[in-house]
Amino acid sequence: MSGRTPETADGAGAVSVASAASPYQGYVYAYPHKTAYRPLEPRPSLREVWAAEPLGSLSLYLHIPFCEMRCGFCNLFTRTGAPEELVAAYLDALERQARAVRDALREPRFVTAAIGGGTPTYLSAAELTRMFDLTERIMGIDLQAVPLSVETSPATATAGRLTVLAERGATRVSIGVQSFIDAEARAAVRPQRRQEVEAALGRIRETGFEALNIDLIYGIDGQTEQSWRHSLDAALDWKPEELYLYPLYVRPLTGLGRRARDWDDHRLGLYRQGRDHLLAAGYEQVSMRMFRLPGSAGATEYCCQSDGMVGLGCGARSYTSDLHYSYEYAVGAGQVRAIIDDYVRLPPEEFAVANVGFRLDEDERRRRHLIQSLLQAEGLDTAAYRERFGTKVTADFGEDLDRLAGRGWLEPVSPRDGVRTGHGGAGEVGGAGRLRLTAEGLAHSDAIGPALFSGRVGELMAGYENR
Domain boundaries, the chain: 1-28+361-467, 34-300
pLDDT reading at 261 higher than 80: no
Of 80 and 175, more confident = 175
Residue 425 has pLDDT above 60, yes or no: no
Do the Cβ atoms of 280 and 252 come closer than 8 Å?
no
Mean pLDDT is lowest, of 28-42, 119-133, 279-293, for 28-42
Is a pLDDT exceeding 90 seen at residue 323?
yes
Residue range 212-234: average pLDDT?
96
* Closest CA relative to residue 244, chosen from 254, 235, 255: 235
Rounded Cα distance, 410 and 429, in Å: 9
1-28+361-467 and 34-300 share one fold? no
Cα dihedral across residues 81, 83, 84, 88: positive or negative: negative
Cβ atoms of 146 and 114 closer than 8 Å = no
Task: Categorize the per-residue pLDDT at 431 as very low, low, confident or very high, splitting at 50, 70 and 90.
Answer: low
167-209 pLDDT, tens digit each: 999 999 999 999 999 999 988 877 789 999 999 999 999 999 9
Looking at residue 43, the DSSP 8-state letter turns out to be P
Would you state the pLDDT for residue 348?
96
State the fold for domain 1-28+361-467.
Answer: Arc Repressor Mutant, subunit A (1.10.10)
- Residue 338's pLDDT band, with cuts at 50, 70 and 90, is confident
What average pLDDT is seen over the chain? 87
β-bridge mates for residue 148, sequence order: 113
Compute CA 351 distance to the chain's CA centroid, rounded to the nearest angstrom.
24
Q: Which residues contact 389 (CB under 8 A, 6 or more apart)?
A: 362, 365, 366, 369, 396
Q: If we measure between CA atoms, which residue out of 191, 190, 210, 230 comes closest to residue 144?
A: 210
**Full-model pTM:** 0.90
Domain 34-300 has CATH 3.40.710.10: no
Cα 366 to Cα 298, 371, 415, distances in angstroms: 28, 9, 21
Residue 262: pLDDT band (50, 70, 90) is low
Q: Are 127 and 133 in contact (CB under 8 A)?
A: no
